[in-house]
Structures are given as C-alpha cells and as structure tokens.
Amino acid sequence: MKFLLLVVLAAEHPMAISQSPGPDIHRVAANAARLHDTMLDPASFVLDAVYLTKPSKRGNVSVCYEYRSHNTMGGYSAGRAVEDGDDHNRLSTYTAAESGRYPGYNVGWVAPCKSKNLDREITADVAPLAVALYRKER
C-alpha cells in the first residue's frame, strides 16, 4: 500500500522523488550557448559534457563544461569552462597546459571540477536547450 501511494505521488509530482535540486538548467544552457557563440568557428562547436559538482563547504554547486571547436589550423581544440558556485556563478574558461590538464579547472588547490568533486552529468538535459539559444551560425 505504501509503495502504491509513493508511485501515485511520484506520478503527480515528479520533483517529489528527484535528486537534490541543482542549478537552473535554462541558465546552464544559456551559458553553453554563450560558449558556442564565442568560438572562432561556432558551427564546429561540440558540447562534450556538462557536470554538476557536489556542494562545496559553503553549500554551493558549480557547473563544469567540456567542449571543443575548430581552431585556426582547422583541427579541434578542447576547452573547459566552469560556472563557479562559490564565485556568484561566474563563468570562467580554461585552456590546457602542456600536460594536457586544465589548471584551475581540474588541477590545483581550488579547482572545482576535479573528478572527485563531480556529482552527476547533465549533458542530455542541457544540450538540446543550448542549441535553441545559439545566436551565431558562423
């Protein structure tokens, strides 16, 4: 009987059994679209992954973006960005060091996107919304 009540409650209120609330998906999608629009060749932009981090000591969740786009030589260059929950959701971009890692993103003392800090991937939720917000074709 309790299980049936739980199923009925979940059907009427899908958020009643969801995971902890994260950032607004529309804001995250808008930031992904902003990254797209800043690329040298926006048509080649690929959003590889979007992750939410575990809450920080202050209780803030950050959003980590992994993407790539054509560079001036025609090859793909990878980039990373983070919407830092501890810094008023400021969006910062990062380029790879010679080691192939991203200092400040996933390497360093305060890097929010280290693998141990990642909570869940939300790429499937963000990507379709971001495409609708793209302003540049080329």
pTM score, whole prediction? 0.80
Q: Between the CA of residue 117 and those of 3, 49, 110, what are the distances in Å?
A: 33, 15, 11
CA 5-124-59 angle, 5° bins = 70
For 92-105, how does the pLDDT look when each residue is reduced to its tens digit (9 = 90+)?
Answer: 999 888 888 899 89
Q: Which residue has the higher pLDDT, 90 or 16?
A: 90
Task: Identify the pLDDT of residue 99.
Answer: 83
Question: What are the sequence ranges of the domains in the chain?
Answer: 23-133
* 52 bridge partner residues: 63, 120
Q: What is the 3-state secondary structure (H, E, C) of 71-122?
A: CCCCCEEEEEEEEEHHHCCEEEEECCCCCCCCECCCECCCCCCCHHHEEEEC
pLDDT band, very low/low/confident/very high, at 137 (cuts 50, 70, 90): low
**pLDDT of the residue at 93:** 95
**Helix H or strand E encompassing 27:** helix 25-37
Identify the helix (H) or strand (E) that includes residue 48: strand 46-53
